[in-house]
Amino acid sequence: MTGSTPPPGRKPTAFRLDDSKVRLTDDENREPSAGEALVTQAYLEEDEPRLPRDASTPKSRFGFGKWIMVGLTGLVSLAIGLAIDSLIRDLFARTDWLGWLAVALAAIAALGLTGLIIREFAGLARLGKIDHLREKLKAAADEDDAKAATAGLKELMALYADRPETAQGRKALAGHMQEVIDGRDLVILAERDLLRPLDQEANRIVLNSAKRVSLVTAVSPRALVDLLMVLFENLKTIRRVSTLYGGRPGTLGFLRLAKHVVSHLAVTGGMAAGDSLASEFLGHSLAARLSARLGEGVINGLLTARIGIAAIAVCRPSPFVADNGPSVKEFMGELTSLAKKQETDGNS
């Protein structure tokens, strides 16, 4: 905030910011009237010299850690190859049919490894395609670009071309693309007609996983069992949600997807939101009526639901435009009802 320069012949005067004579203005050329002080906003950081972006950007280089990984991977591959070669030679030395059997088994293993590598790369490419499509549709909706939205929705329809449960939605969306002009409206219609059944199924997957976590952690006597159950259910939910939306990730793709889910939670403050929600839940009278174990189970279920919601946001090939998507509060009623039912059954 900077004050305007007093006109010639006028003595400097001090004013309080809450004085009625102080006026805020965006026009830096406006002259103050008698007894009036003008305050203008100046963005000084734009006038200050800045260093180039390269000064704070780490330079990409081939680090020593990568050298170690390349060397160890090469040595392990050579060791496995030499061990197989030695085994096959020993079997040929013993009898020919055992040697040929070993050759056939090695060929089968090589074909399987090749297929596995192809599947992993295909899974990574599919996840990358979904990420690109989501960003493309988000930009089209934000800019209300009908041409970009139409191109993106054609890719979305192609993604689900082999899914019979989306046939009716794809047919309705194809009709909308010939009538609707606004890009944002097209994306909203795709959410309603094509993705809504998938969204409903994804919500059911997350809710059922949260219920299982809530139930098991409420009755489990061991913290280790709780931890393993939560980990298993979260990983299972992420994989199922990704498959539902067309991801079908392999091992490497699943690890990349899990990293994206964690990153999404960090960016959106998911764990902090879960903590505040847990505190809010514990502060209500409902927590006072539940046992400590049941309350802990409900909180674990809510945090599992939060991870499932993040998985939906990451795996969905289109952004939520018409609304903000599912929230943790939508699952709270089901989990608290389950907890009260457990307590009632336990007391009876």
Compute the residue count for the chain. Answer: 348
Three-state DSSP state, 71: helix
Tell me the pLDDT band of 108, cut-offs 50, 70 and 90: very high
Kindly list the strands in the beta sheet with 37-40, ordered across the sheet, starting from the edge strand earlier in the chain: 2-3, 37-40, 22-25
Asked if 241 and 205 touch (Cβ cutoff 8 Å), the reply is: yes
Q: What is the C-alpha separation between 138 and 324, in angstroms, rounded?
A: 13
Asked if 201 and 303 touch (Cβ cutoff 8 Å), the reply is: no
Q: What is the dihedral of CA 236, 250, 200, 337, to 10 degrees?
A: 10
End-of-domain residue from the set 46, 61, 78: 46
**What average pLDDT score do residues 325-335 get?**
79
**What average pLDDT score do residues 295-316 get?**
83
Percent of the chain scoring above 70 in pLDDT:
69
Does 273 score more than 60 pLDDT? Answer: no
pLDDT at 13: 66
**Six-digit token string for 196:** 């809504």
Q: Is 79 among the domain residues? A: no
Most confident of the ranges 14-28, 154-168, 208-222, 286-300: 154-168
Q: Is 76 among the domain residues? A: no
Q: Is 165 among the domain residues? A: no
pLDDT at 248: 77
CB atoms within 10 A of CB 210: 28
Q: Is 111 among the domain residues? A: no
Tell me the pLDDT band of 300, cut-offs 50, 70 and 90: confident
**Six-digit token string for 279:** 């505190």
Give the contacts of 89 (CB within 8 A, at least 6 positions apart): 99
Most confident of the ranges 23-32, 137-146, 282-291: 137-146
Q: Is 28 or 330 the better-scoring residue by pLDDT?
A: 330
pLDDT at 82: 92
Tell me the pLDDT band of 275, cut-offs 50, 70 and 90: very low
What integer best gives the mean pLDDT of the chain?
Answer: 77
pLDDT at 232: 86
DSSP label at residue 22: E
Three-state DSSP state, 2: strand
Does 159 score more than 80 pLDDT? Answer: yes
DSSP string, 144-158: T-HHHHHHHHHHHHH
Q: What is the dihedral of CA 155, 185, 206, 317, to 10 degrees?
A: 20
pLDDT at 2: 46
Does 57 score more than 80 pLDDT? Answer: no
**What average pLDDT score do residues 297-313 get?**
84
Q: Is 287 or 143 the better-scoring residue by pLDDT?
A: 143
pLDDT at 30: 64
pLDDT per position as a tens digit, 178-222: 876 788 888 888 888 888 889 999 999 998 888 888 888 777 767
Q: Is 11 among the domain residues? A: yes
Percent of the chain scoring above 90 in pLDDT:
9
pLDDT at 292: 60
CB atoms within 10 A of CB 61: 7
**Six-digit token string for 94:** 């013993």
- The continuous run of DSSP H or E covering 281 comes out as helix 270-283
Most confident of the ranges 32-36, 166-170, 283-287, 294-298: 166-170
φ, ψ (nearest 5 deg) of residue 37: -120, 130
The domain tally of the chain equals 2
Asked if 206 and 313 touch (Cβ cutoff 8 Å), the reply is: no
Burial of 334 (0-12, 13-18, 19+ CB in 10 A): middle
In this structure, which amino acid lies at residue 17?
A: L
How far, in Å, are 3, 76, 83, 133 from residue 107 at the CA level?
A: 81, 19, 15, 39
pLDDT at 44: 37
DSSP string, 31-48: PP-TT-EEEE---HHHHS
Residue with tokens 């693309």: 177
**How many H-runs (helices) and E-runs (strands) does the chain carry?**
13, 3
> Strand locations in 143-215, DSSP E?
none
How far, in Å, are 8, 134, 219, 222 from residue 287 at the CA level?
A: 69, 39, 17, 22
- The residue range of the domain holding 41 is 1-46
Q: Is 112 among the domain residues? A: no
Does 141 score more than 70 pLDDT? Answer: yes
Q: Is 211 among the domain residues? A: yes
Lowest mean pLDDT across 31-35, 68-72, 189-193: 31-35
DSSP label at residue 284: S
Q: Is 138 among the domain residues? A: no
pTM to 2 decimal places: 0.67
Q: Is 248 or 29 the better-scoring residue by pLDDT?
A: 248
